[in-house]
């Protein structure tokens, strides 16, 4: 396999990894938003803001990760954000 082809394949894998990882983290962040956003008068604001905000959260995370100068640190921050957002989600099951 030529060097260019190997590089192209590696890039594809990396880019797919970025898309999937940011998707999962954005999903966790959106789910956690329902636990700390105020529900509002109709008791649905927290859900609506979380659902509408999902593409924006994903876009911001993906842009930050793709353009990061220190890639490993960026992945670390992404993992921290995911774990941090997961805490209130897990907590909501025991509340």
Partner 1 sequence: MSKAPRGGRRKAYYLFHRTVGTTTAFLGALVFFTGAVAVFGHELDHWASRDRTAPELASLGPGVLDRALATALAARDEAAPDSAASDDAADEETTGPSALIYAERPETLTFAFVVPGEETRDFVDVRVPEAPSAHVERATFGARAEANPRGTLESFFVRLHVSLLVEGKIGLLLTGLIALGLLLLLGTGLYVHWPRRKQLTKAPRRGVRQWLGDVHTLVGVWTLPFSFVLSVTGAFFSFAGAILIPVMIVVAFGADRARMEEVLRGDLPASESAAVASLDAIVRDAGTRAAGAELGRLRIEDWGGTSALVVTEFFDLDYSLRSARYAYGGRDGSFLGERPFIGARPSVGGTLISWVAGLHFGNLYGLATKLAWMVFGLLACLLASTGLGLWAVRNRRQAPREGLFAQALAGGTAGLPFATGLAILAWAAAQGGGTKTAMALAFFAALAVSVVVAARLPMRVALRGLLAAGAAALLAVPFAGAAVTGGSPFALGIEAGRVDVGFALLALLLGAAALRLPHLEGRTERDVMSFGETVEAAPAE
Positions that interact with partner 1 (CB under 8 A):
11-12, 15, 19, 23, 27, 30-32, 34-35, 40-52, 54-56, 58-59, 62-63, 66-73, 89, 92
Q: What letter would DSSP give residue 16?
A: H
Q: How far is the CB of 36 from partner 1 (least distance, A)?
A: 11
**In the complex with partner 1, which residue's Cβ is closer, 19 or 83?**
19
* Alpha-carbon span 47 to 34, nearest angstrom: 5
Q: How far is the CB of 42 from partner 1 (least distance, A)?
A: 3
By the 10 Å C-beta count (0-12 exposed, 13-18 middle, 19+ buried), 22 is classed as: buried
**In the complex with partner 1, which residue's Cβ is closer, 34 or 81?**
34
- Quick one: which of 53, 55, 49, 45 has its CA closest to 22? 55
Q: How does DSSP assign 25-46, residue by residue?
A: HHHHHHHHHHHHS--TTTT-HH
């Amino acid at each position: 396999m030529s060097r260019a082809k190997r590089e192209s394949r590696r890039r594809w894998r990396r880019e797919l990894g970025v898309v999937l990882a940011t998707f999962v983290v954005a999903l966790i962040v959106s789910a956690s938003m329902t636990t700390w956003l105020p529900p509002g008068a109709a008791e649905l604001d927290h859900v609506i803001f979380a659902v509408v905000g999902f593409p924006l959260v994903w876009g911001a995370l993906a842009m930050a990760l793709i353009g990061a100068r220190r890639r490993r640190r960026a992945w670390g921050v992404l993992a921290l954000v995911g774990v941090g957002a997961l805490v209130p989600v897990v907590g909501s099951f025991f509340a």
